[in-house]
Structure 1
């Protein structure tokens, strides 16, 4: 190498610095490239993506190959820089030190920082071409790479680390939620919300969205047939449970579409029973993800939620689960006009049976998920007594006024929008501590 002309030595040094930058940049690109995008492009037949994925399947071999090449180039560049410096300035004092410092700065800028920054910003533009180069290099240098990895993995083994302990690129539900929320303009806002809602289905059970037992509308076979016919003609639901005396003695479901074209008043109970569908029961606490699969498997759209003793707690439909994903099937902002009534002063009058999830969507606060499911249940747990009409208190910074109580339950209450703490103090509204579960839910909501 000493016999080469000076200009060839300087040219070789420049080439080595370029190779050093290529090794450094390609390492960063391959380690940061989006593997999900690579898989997608590989399925479409992109050869470079397939090669990159094959290299990334054994990152220890890939890293060993890159570092082998990078270190060899850097050491060779250091030797060549020393030879060039001696030929230019002789072997005087400080020449080698200045050469080492100068080479370090040049390698740091042009061989490390600049190429790695570019590769981090454009990983695919660097990773794909690098895959075409590293694939034949790995075959050529495999014995050396294998030996290097054997020694490196031996050191890691002594430290208690194993290759199988790596997490890979698996994502938890919360990590996937973060990915969806940070997709920005790539996914429309409403699609983001649906994807996040799908991830939340596993945390929600049928108890959270079912129609409570007290609000189930059904057909009592012990009533007069003309009354039953009138009820079905004016029913607001297309599917109704049919029972004797109480919902606990359910005999089936009637789908009103099966009655189209029939004169109900000309029918009798025997003909009506022939149209009934077999009842379908859902265990309480079933996650919505599981129940969605069960509805599909059993080809059902409606079911009765039962507890461990077989007592009916409520009613769940396929539409209820779908609304948890896509939102209410209505243009009305109010989830249920039957339970929530907006007032001119900005408040809402709600029945005691209002579902807390519907109320939370409207008012922007989240009640505890492991407690009561209705407004009446929340108030009774909150007050630890049946409050008198006119009682006012705060729930999640929302003033609540009891309007009517009857039969040991809150029948209606008025809820105002959230007020700031400073405004509350100015108005002299006392702050009552929330139940612990509600506080935890509010804290979790704030962190999210």
Structure 2
């Protein structure tokens, strides 16, 4: 070594620092690489992505190779620095030289390349894959031996290194978090649709149904004149037909099949009952996702939601199910209005799920389905207008109510 000039030694040291930076940066890039984008690029036959995926299928070998190379280079750089220091200033120069090397390696071989690897993982990961694959073949015996020793040490602590592979699987809540944070990657309408689809399994038809008190139907106990007038002015194309109350429904009437008969002189209630289709009943606990499949299989568009006793709770349509994914099919006055000061004016009939979706809150959905029901259950009374209360961490004020329900609520902005 004494025959080698200092210029060459400094050149070798600089090369070692660059190699160390490569190992450090590529390790960060490979470990932080987006696995789903990687899978997408593999399907498009991207050569760098294919090689990178091959490396990541056995991360223990990859990490072993990187650490082997990085530690070898760093130790060699430290030895070379000691030699240079002795040749320049003797033994007294060793400590300052090692201090300078530590600072240099920290800046140029650790922090900077790792930051670059985190910010531009694809560039470094795909580039390094062309280097690591042949290196793995060359140093396979050494890497294999290191991994065996490492696995034995892990087993001492009760960890099976072969069974704890990195699994790129996400549960529903994790996937929802990813979609929620993807504001800059997709339009808001697509983001809302994806979040709605992820919610289909956890929501039941009872969450989105039209309550029985709001169902518009034909009561055969009414006069034929009133029924005809209702048919002519109905905004709906399918109406439930019942006797006295909705629990005694006998079928559904499609206006297209009956309107042409209204002008007939012999049109009567029998004409209506002869045009009915069989009612379809849905258990209240049925998930929205499952009900979509049922509607599709049965070629139906409307069903009545019933409880465990067979009593009608409400009505749900195919449009209601689709609306859960694509949003309002018909633009109406919104039930949740954000004010300039950050507060919300909320129609108390809105569902808790819809309120949570719009505001990103986490109000409980296990009990009452509407905001009105949640407030009444929480306060155990129907509060008067002007009443303020803290509901599950949110300060709200009752703005309007009638005899038995809350109509309008204001949620104050969080401070």
Aligned equivalent of 1:343: none
Rate the CA distance shift 1:179–1:145 in 2: closer, same or farther, 3 A: same
The worse-fitting range, judged by mean Cα deviation, of 288-297 and 146-155 is 288-297
1:255 to 2:254 alignment: yes
Give 1:311-326 correspondences, 5 Å limit.
311-326=311-326
Unaligned ranges ≥5, structure 2: 337-343, 390-394
Distance 1:24 1:402, change over 3 A: closer
Per-residue CA deviation, residues 334-365 of structure 1 (Å, 9 max, x unaligned), is 449xxxxxxxxxx9997x9x344499489968
Q: 1:79 to 1:413 in 2, by over 3 A?
A: closer
SS at match of 2:11: helix
Counterpart position of 1:138 = 136
Q: Which runs of 5+ in 1 are unaligned?
A: 337-346, 421-445
The separation in 2 between residues aligned to 1:94 and 1:17, in whole angstroms, is 24
Residues 5-404 of structure 1 aligned to structure 2 (within 5 Å): 5-89=5-89, 92-163=90-161, 164-165=163-164, 168-221=167-220, 223-259=222-258, 262-266=260-264, 267=267, 272-273=272-273, 275-335=275-335, 354-357=349-352, 360=355, 368-373=364-369, 377=373, 381=377, 384=380, 393-394=387-388, 396-403=395-402
Report whether the alignment pairs 1:415 with 2:415: no
Change in Cα spacing, 1:28 to 1:368, as seen in structure 2 (3 Å) is: closer
Q: Secondary structure at the match of 1:415?
A: strand
Judging changes above 3 Å, is the alpha-carbon distance between structure 1 residues 230 and 362 closer, same or farther for their aligned structure 2 residues? Answer: farther
Summarize the Cα distance change of 1:269–1:162 in structure 2 as closer, same or farther, 3 Å threshold: farther
Distance 1:142 1:215, change over 3 A: same
Specify the SS of the correspondent of 1:185.
coil
Report the 3-state secondary structure (helix = DSSP H, G, I; strand = E; otherwise coil) of the residue aligned with 2:410: coil
Q: Distance in 1 between matches of 2:353 and 2:171?
A: 28
The secondary structure found in structure 2 opposite 1:94 is helix
Question: Is the contact between residue 306 and residue 312 of structure 1 (CA under 8 Å) also seen in structure 2?
Answer: yes
Tell me the distance in 2 between the aligned counterparts of 1:129 and 1:381: 61
User: Normalization by structure 1: what TM-score?
Assistant: 0.77
SS at match of 2:387: strand
> Does the CA contact (< 8 Å) of 2:382 and 2:406 recur in 1?
no
The alignment partner of 1:304 has SS state of strand
Aligned length in residues: 400
Q: Report how far residue 49 of structure 1 moved.
A: 0.7
Is the deviation greater in 69-78 or in 43-52? 69-78
Determine the structure 2 residue equivalent to 1:427: none
1:126 deviates by: 0.6
Change (3 A) 1:380 1:122: closer
Q: Relative to 1, partners in 2 of residues 1:413 and 1:86: Cα closer, same or farther, differing over 3 Å? A: closer
Shift of 1:3: 4.4
Paired residue secondary structure (2:198):
helix
Shift of 1:142: 1.5
Are 1:226 and 1:265, in contact at CA under 8 Å, matched by a contact in 2?
no
Give 1:30 shift: 0.5
Q: CA deviation at 1:375?
A: 6.6
Q: Note the alpha carbon deviations across 1:53-95, whole angstroms, 9 max, x for none.
A: 1211211111001111111222222233333333334xx3323
SS in 2 for 1:171: coil
Distance 1:322 1:330 in 2: 12
Please say if residues 357 and 366 of structure 1, whose CA atoms lie closer than 8 Å, have aligned partners that are also in contact.
no
Of stretches 230-239 and 285-294 in structure 1, the one that deviates more from structure 2 is: 285-294
Q: CA deviation at 1:162?
A: 2.8
SS state of the match for residue 105, structure 1? helix
Q: What are the superposed Cα offsets for residues 200-237 of structure 1, whole Å, 9 maximum, x if unpaired?
A: 33443222221112222222345555543332222121
